């Protein structure tokens, strides 16, 4: 299997760092595709949020939070440091939520980062069909999980959560050879039925994903319970979506990845989701086949070329180093 793609249309980030009290997702549409990157912070319901997005432009540029972003009220804080390169398919984020000691466990802290991508891919090659594999790789570490009984007071819900989820679907349509424009659906109510001849297209799709999730909560009666099967520790792996697709036909790709850390009505809570070792996505085809992307994406399925961060500070240093390398490369190309 090999990766093959034409020279991509270059993308540029429009960095909008406007804070808002409530979320309004900013989506930039390109022909048959869109990319949205957003993140949010909440400290004691302060709901600090901002959005960034990509649009067609003249130069490569990675999306990021611009370093560590923090919302803080007293000793309650939430932070996020996220970085996206949609052209090559890399998503990183480090999210934390912390509440300090308090006589009454009523503090709220939350941090999230999310990427949503819709693209149209068309494959070309010598055969009428070929096998395409979409690869989602992940590397995420959770810390701070664990809850012991405490005096709940008047509040009914107390919980901590960590979540790292990615999901993708691949789909396409072909003309239905059985389609009859004169055919009609029959029956009514529960007996309503539409035969295959009533649909002008045949739909083909494949989807999959991986969720890493854990919640520890205490009920108002002091009962501790958990949801999800993750725990403190590092999780690595990949999800593969494979389907046979025709060449010369539009293939729709939808991809979403998000990370979230949350403390809700708790004191002494400090949880983190470290996906600084990135999620990365790739499209693999047999030798002799290539693809075009309506968004100009390469889907390399490779980790970022900058050193992998192990802390928020190292992640920011890597971003600054990447910008310097790109700037030097452009200066050399002009020389």
In this prediction the pTM is 0.76
Closest Cα partner for 138 from 62, 213, 81, 87?
A: 213
Average pLDDT over residues 252-277: 94
The dihedrals phi and psi of 225, each to the nearest 5 degrees, come to -145, 160
**What average pLDDT does the segment 180-189 reach?**
92
User: Which residues 6+ apart lie within 8 Å of 298 measured at CB?
Assistant: 3, 5, 8, 87, 88, 89
DSSP conformation letters of 94-158: EEEEEE---SS---EEEEEEEEEEEEEEEEESSSSEEEEEEEEEEEEEEE---------TT-SEE
- Looking at residue 171, its pLDDT comes to 92
Measured between alpha carbons, how far is 280 from 231 in angstroms, rounded to an integer? 22
What pLDDT does 156 receive?
Answer: 65
Q: Above 80 in pLDDT, residue 305? A: no
Task: Identify the pLDDT of residue 14.
Answer: 20
What mean pLDDT do residues 89-108 have? 84
């Amino acid at each position: 299997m090999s990766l093959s793609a034409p020279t991509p249309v270059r993308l540029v980030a429009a960095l909008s760092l406007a804070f808002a009290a409530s979320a309004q997702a900013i989506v930039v549409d390109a022909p048959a595709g869109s990319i949205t990157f957003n993140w949010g912070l909440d400290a004691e319901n302060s709901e600090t949020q901002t959005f960034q997005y990509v649009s067609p432009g003249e130069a490569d540029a990675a999306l990021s939070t611009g370093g560590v972003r923090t919302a803080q009220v007293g000793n309650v804080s939430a932070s996020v440091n996220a970085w996206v390169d949609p052209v090559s398919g890399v998503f990183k984020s480090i999210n934390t939520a912390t509440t300090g000691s308090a006589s009454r466990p009523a503090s709220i802290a939350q941090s999230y980062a999310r990427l949503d991508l819709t693209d149209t891919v068309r494959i070309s090659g010598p055969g009428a069909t070929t096998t395409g594999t979409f690869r989602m790789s992940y590397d995420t570490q959770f810390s701070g999980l664990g809850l012991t009984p405490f005096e709940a007071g008047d509040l009914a819900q107390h919980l901590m959560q960590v979540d790292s989820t990615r999901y993708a679907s691949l789909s396409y349509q072909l003309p239905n050879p059985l389609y009859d424009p004169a055919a009609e659906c029959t029956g009514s109510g529960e007996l309503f039925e539409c035969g295959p001849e009533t649909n002008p297209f045949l739909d083909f799709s494949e989807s999959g994903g991986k969720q890493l999730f854990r919640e520890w909560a205490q009920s108002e009666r002091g009962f501790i319970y958990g949801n999800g099967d993750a725990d403190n520790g590092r999780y690595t792996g990949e999800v593969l979506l494979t389907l046979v697709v025709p060449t010369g036909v539009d293939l729709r790709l939808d991809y979403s990845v998000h990370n979230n850390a949350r403390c809700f009505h708790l004191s002494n809570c400090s949880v983190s989701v470290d996906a600084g070792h990135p999620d990365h996505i790739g499209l693999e085809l047999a030798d002799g086949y290539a693809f075009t992307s309506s968004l100009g994406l390469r889907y390399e399925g490779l980790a970022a070329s900058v050193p992998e961060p192990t802390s928020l500070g190292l992640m920011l240093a890597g971003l600054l180093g990447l910008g310097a390398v790109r700037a030097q490369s452009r200066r050399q190309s002009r020389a």
